[in-house]
Amino acid sequence: MVDDKDLRQANYWGNQCTLGEQTGPQTIVVRQIIGEQQQQKVMDIHVVVPRQKPAIEQIIDVFVKDVEVNSVDILNDRVIVRGDFEIKAIYVACVPDQAVHAVEVRNVKWSQDVTIPGARRGMDADASVVVDFVDYDVHRLSRAYKYKNYVPDEEDDDEVECCETAAPTAPAAEECGPAPATETAAAAEEVVVQIQECNREFDVSIVLTVTAKVMADREVMLSPAVPPAPPMPPVAPKG
- Rounded CA-CA distance 115/39 in Å is 9
Cα separations (Å) of 181 from 103, 148, 156, 169? 43, 33, 19, 11
pLDDT at residue 218, rounded to an integer: 80
pLDDT at residue 163, rounded to an integer: 38
Q: Is the dihedral of CA 171, 177, 183, 187 positive or negative?
A: negative
pLDDT at residue 193, rounded to an integer: 46
pLDDT at residue 154, rounded to an integer: 53
Cα separations (Å) of 188 from 63, 138, 180? 36, 21, 12
Cα separations (Å) of 104 from 64, 86, 88, 143, 169? 10, 7, 4, 21, 50
Q: How far apart are the first and last CA of the chain?
A: 49
Q: In this structure, which amino acid lies at residue 205? A: S
Successive 10-residue mean pLDDT values, the chain, 239 residues: 58 54 70 92 96 94 96 95 97 92 96 95 93 95 89 52 40 47 52 64 97 89 67 65
Q: What is the pTM of this model?
A: 0.63
pLDDT at residue 165, rounded to an integer: 37
Cα separations (Å) of 113 from 9, 77, 129? 67, 10, 13
pLDDT at residue 156, rounded to an integer: 47
Asked whether 220 and 53 are in contact (CB, 8 A), the reply is: no
Query: What is the separation of C-alpha 169 from the centre of its chain, rounded to a whole number of angstroms?
Result: 55
pLDDT at residue 207, rounded to an integer: 97
Q: Do the strands 124-137 and 56-75 form a parallel or antiparallel pair, or are they unpaired?
A: unpaired
